[in-house]
A and B are shown apart, each in its own frame.
Chain A
Amino acid sequence: MAESPARTAFAEEALTHLDTLYRGALRLTRDPDQAQDLVQEAYLRALRYQHSYQQGTNMKAWLFAIMRNLFWDRFKGSRKEDVSLDDVGEFVLYEKLRDEGARPEADVLDKLAASEVVTAVEKLPPLHREVVLLVDVEGFSYKDAATALGVPIGTVMSRLHRARQQLQKSLYDYALESGIVRGNGGHQVQT
């Protein structure tokens, strides 16, 4: 196919968002090879449907929407039912740690390994994981995240809140298991 300047310009601009798409795909699939396949397919689809992209709108959000829709089609069979996070309740790591005599930031957050945080994010159900990826990791506004995910802003907010509750619960469980804190009102472990 002859390469047109417009097509080249579009592809170049789209590729400036590659890291965001790759990270998102990696966190969703949890597999580097699947992530590359997913991102490649997303870019091919984006190029095919570039006429549907409106200049001046958020290309990163548009590309992410293509990628995550492919993810759901391919890996989840379009079934977007998700594990409910309602049963986590209002778990607030900060208050939990303070109740146990720890200094939440200095004693706990500073001691969490990046790999454990990634693990906690990857444990989130996909519908909640993708909101954390967009808002917390990629810095999307609620509005842009809502566009990328095809949901109302209120849904972004509620999923994000539940995801953070679950994330804090997972990190607390890890802190307990690894001895960073002791449960049941004990004091933090000095290391």
Chain B
Amino acid sequence: MKCQECADKLDRFVDRELNSTEILEMQLHLEACPDCTDHYEFQSHLKRLVKHSCECDAAPPAFREKLRQILS
């Protein structure tokens, strides 16, 4: 695998959307390529950052209770 192909598949690798053969190819490339590994770790970190930053908003308890009343 070339670095360009690795870059093309990086989104799907980070999102766990590749098949097992593609995952293995990516893993083999990353083991041998520090630059692509750094890029992969950066993208993974960014994805985690977006998740953690945005998922802290839970529905207010009073709203949850109100909905429960309405739906029952």
Contact = CB atoms under 8 A, between A and B. Distances in A.
Interface of A: 3, 8, 11, 14-15, 18-19, 21-23, 26-27, 36, 39-40, 43-44, 47, 93-95, 104-105, 109, 112, 114-115, 117-118, 121, 132-133, 135-139, 141-142, 157, 160-161, 164, 167-168
A15 B68 CA distance: 8
Given A11-B71, A167-B50, 8 more contacts: A8-B72, A15-B64, A44-B71, A109-B45, A114-B52, A136-B50, A164-B46, A168-B46
Interface of B: 11-12, 15, 17, 38-39, 41-43, 45-47, 49-60, 63-64, 66-68, 70-72
Most chain-B CB neighbours within 10 Å: which of A132, A133, A137?
A137
A78 B72 CA distance: 30
B15 A142 contact: yes
Q: Which secondary structure dominates where chain A touches chain B?
A: helix
Nearest to B66: A40
Nearest to B58: A19
Nearest to A143: B17
A117 B53 contact: yes
Contact of B11 (A19, A115, A157): A157
Contact of B17 (A47, A104, A141): A141
